[in-house]
Amino acid sequence: MSSEKSYVIKVGDKEIEINEDVLSILHRYVHTEMSLEQLASELGFESWEEAYEFVKKVPAWILWISPSLWKTLKGMKRASEELAHQK
């Protein structure tokens, strides 16, 4: 079993894990005219202010990774950890 690490961003009392679904929402926010109100709704925040705080905390490099690449990289890391445990 691998001890898979996840990337989590905390906003207020909420913790949002960066995964393919969240990354897909962030990509739509960055590449379209999605408002902070819409982003807040999609991510389950109560206000646009929480969405704004979230966006400020997301490292810029994450916004440039496609959701499919994110999934592939996590899969490769998991496979690498499993191979290391077999040795």
The pLDDT score that the predictor gives to residue 10 is 95
What are the backbone dihedrals phi and psi of residue 80, each rounded to the nearest 5 degrees, phi first? Answer: -65, -40
Beta carbons of 15 and 63 less than 8 angstroms apart: no
Per-residue pLDDT of 57-78, as tens digits, reads 999 988 888 888 888 888 888 8
The pLDDT score that the predictor gives to residue 77 is 80
Question: What is the C-alpha to C-alpha distance for residues 25 and 34, in angstroms, rounded to an integer?
Answer: 10
Per-residue pLDDT of 6-22, as tens digits, reads 789 999 899 999 999 99
Mean pLDDT of 32-51: 96
Q: Residue 2's pLDDT band (boundaries 50, 70, 90)? A: very low
Question: What is the C-alpha to C-alpha distance for residues 10 and 2, in angstroms, rounded to an integer?
Answer: 24
Instruction: Give this prediction's pTM.
Output: 0.77
Any alpha helices (H) in 44-66, and if so which ranges? Answer: 48-57, 60-63
- Rounded to the nearest 10 degrees, the angle between the axes of helix 20-31 and helix 36-43 is 170
